[in-house]
């Protein structure tokens, strides 16, 4: 089966091309009197694709380092045709996404773009629009993308692979064509977090209560306080705003949000991330929008000294043979996730137990520098540790559980990788069948200039 070029999967259909391209007059396929850059080059049902869309995608691909050739426009157009076919069928099948999902995805993407270009002011200057205007134009683009993703998931949701499927795929690959796998390492950790004193907790609660009273009296706005003082950097830039659906947030936060009426402000709520006050902005069924102010209690430096002493005690007992590593994890580690698996650090990017040593150097240079010099079974010196999810700092030791030298992929060591490849192949086959079955049922027209493209499908 012919595979899609990797460029297609890398190209995002959600670039913020909020320029005059959105101002399209009605006319026949080809754009009538539209400027060349804005002519319609394809239609799938009621959905149109503009020449300017192709140009924006080409520019984005070049900025990401992809080399484009004379066939690139055809490949980009085919990916757009596929996305629009998904949207067209989703509309027929009444596949929808909630406003909460759209708003949440939109906030995340705009936040990432802000970080890349230096802030909201730079974002507004770049597009020549206010933040709200950008969001208004972005909303439909995000909705279409999420609908397309959901439609694709319905096509592939029943896909499963058996061990026989995995073995068959592996055996089909010639030995000299099997990919080389870099050196890998399996890591374990014991983490101790400095203890927050009750005095520090009380000070945080008092500060939040003061802000809550100021907001209720009208002397300050919730949005302004969140922007200036919240310890959640992502939502602070949005005035504390978060769009979510039931099950997305931790339980105490969500319980408070669902107990409020629109406009109400909660009492101080404690979660694993710190202390919050929450204001309900909107709720529709399981979807809701809130503003929140997060304050993380400051930890006294002496607490770090005490945590370091605990880690030193732990290391001494392991080295003296008083405790095995597994016993030490159970007694000392305060990271609840890794503690359940003998301290094993799961690679968050792949979900695997092993880390690619070269990639580890790009993810965590300090950790890489430590473990790169260590043999199996060795334990690192205590080091400062920052938990990005809980926004907490602690002290940890890391142990190299095992190493795998560079090797050609094999079923014993790389089963999950090969299984993922087998799943992807089955999904590609299911999508190919669906596209071939769906194209004849949809109204599709393509500009004459692009009819000579060598497409994967018979558009």
Burial classification of residue 271, based on how many CB atoms lie within 10 Å of its CB (0-12 exposed, 13-18 middle, 19 or more buried): middle
Quote the percentage of the chain above a pLDDT of 70: 90
Predicted local confidence at residue 70, as pLDDT: 65
Three-class secondary structure of residue 86 per DSSP: helix
The pLDDT tens digits for 283-342 are 988 889 999 999 999 888 889 999 999 999 999 999 999 999 999 999 999 988 889 889
Predicted local confidence at residue 389, as pLDDT: 67
- pLDDT above 50 for 109: yes
Predicted local confidence at residue 38, as pLDDT: 67
Query: Once rounded to an integer, what is the mean pLDDT over residues 25-50?
Result: 64
Domains (ranges, CATH) in the chain?
6-160+420-450 (1.10.4030.10), 181-195+300-408 (3.10.50.40), 198-295 (3.10.50.40)
Residue 8: both structure tokens together: 């297609």
Query: Once rounded to an integer, what is the mean pLDDT over residues 90-113?
Result: 82
- pLDDT above 50 for 92: yes
Q: Residue 157 in contact with residue 264, Cβ under 8 Å?
A: no
Predicted local confidence at residue 269, as pLDDT: 96
Query: Once rounded to an integer, what is the mean pLDDT over residues 406-421?
Result: 87
Q: How far is CA 308 from CA 183, 257, 342, in A?
A: 32, 37, 21
- pLDDT above 90 for 118: no
Say how far apart CA 168 and CA 422 lie, in whole Å. Answer: 9
Predicted local confidence at residue 336, as pLDDT: 84
The 10 Å CB-count burial string (b at 16+, else e) for 341-361 is ebbbbebeeeebbbbbbeebe
The pLDDT tens digits for 433-447 are 999 999 999 999 999
Q: How confident is the model at residue 360 (pLDDT cuts 50, 70, 90)?
A: confident
- pLDDT above 50 for 23: no
The pLDDT tens digits for 201-226 are 999 999 999 999 999 999 999 999 99
- pLDDT above 50 for 8: no
């Amino acid at each position: 089966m012919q595979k899609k070029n990797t460029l297609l999967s890398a190209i995002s259909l959600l670039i913020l091309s909020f320029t005059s391209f959105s101002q399209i007059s009605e006319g026949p396929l080809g754009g009538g009197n539209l400027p060349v850059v804005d002519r319609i080059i394809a239609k799938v049902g009621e959905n149109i694709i503009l020449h300017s869309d192709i140009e924006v995608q080409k520019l984005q691909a070049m900025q990401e380092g992809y080399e484009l050739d004379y066939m690139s426009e055809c490949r980009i157009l085919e990916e757009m045709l596929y996305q629009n076919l998904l949207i067209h069928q989703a509309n027929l099948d009444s596949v929808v996404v909630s406003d909460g999902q759209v708003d949440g995805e939109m906030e995340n993407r705009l936040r990432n773009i802000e970080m890349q270009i230096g802030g909201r002011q730079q974002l507004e200057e770049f597009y020549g629009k206010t933040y709200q205007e950008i969001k208004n134009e972005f909303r439909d683009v995000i909705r279409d993308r999420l609908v397309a993703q959901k439609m694709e998931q319905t096509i592939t949701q029943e896909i499963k692979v058996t061990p026989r499927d995995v073995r068959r795929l592996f055996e089909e690959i010639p030995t000299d064509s099997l990919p080389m796998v870099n050196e890998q390492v399996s890591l374990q950790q014991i983490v101790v977090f400095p203890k927050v004193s009750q005095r520090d907790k009380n000070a945080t609660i008092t500060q939040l209560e003061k802000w809550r009273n100021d907001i209720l009296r009208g002397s300050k706005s919730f949005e302004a306080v969140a922007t200036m003082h919240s310890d959640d950097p992502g939502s602070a830039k949005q005035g504390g705003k978060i769009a979510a659906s039931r099950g997305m947030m931790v339980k105490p936060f969500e319980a408070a949000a669902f107990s409020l009426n629109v406009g109400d402000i909660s009492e101080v709520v404690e979660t694993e991330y710190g202390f919050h006050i929450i204001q309900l902005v909107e709720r529709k069924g399981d979807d809701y929008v809130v503003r929140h102010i997060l304050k993380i209690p400051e930890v006294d430096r002496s607490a770090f000294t005490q945590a370091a002493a605990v880690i030193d005690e732990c290391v001494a007992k392991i080295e003296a043979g008083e405790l095995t590593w597994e016993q030490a994890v159970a007694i000392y580690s305060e990271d609840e996730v890794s503690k359940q698996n003998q301290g094993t650090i799961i690679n968050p990017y792949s979900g695997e137990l092993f880390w690619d040593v070269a990639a580890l150097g790009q993810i965590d240079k300090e950790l890489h520098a430590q473990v790169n010099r260590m043999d199996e079974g060795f334990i690192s010196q205590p080091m400062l540790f920052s938990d990005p999810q809980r926004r907490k700092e602690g002290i940890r030791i890391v142990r190299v559980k095992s190493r795998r030298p560079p090797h050609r992929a094999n079923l014993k060591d790389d089963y999950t990788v090969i299984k993922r490849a087998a799943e992807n192949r089955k999904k590609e086959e299911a999508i190919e069948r669906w596209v071939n079955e769906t194209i004849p049922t949809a109204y599709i027209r393509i500009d004459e200039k692009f009819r000579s493209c060598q497409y994967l499908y018979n558009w």
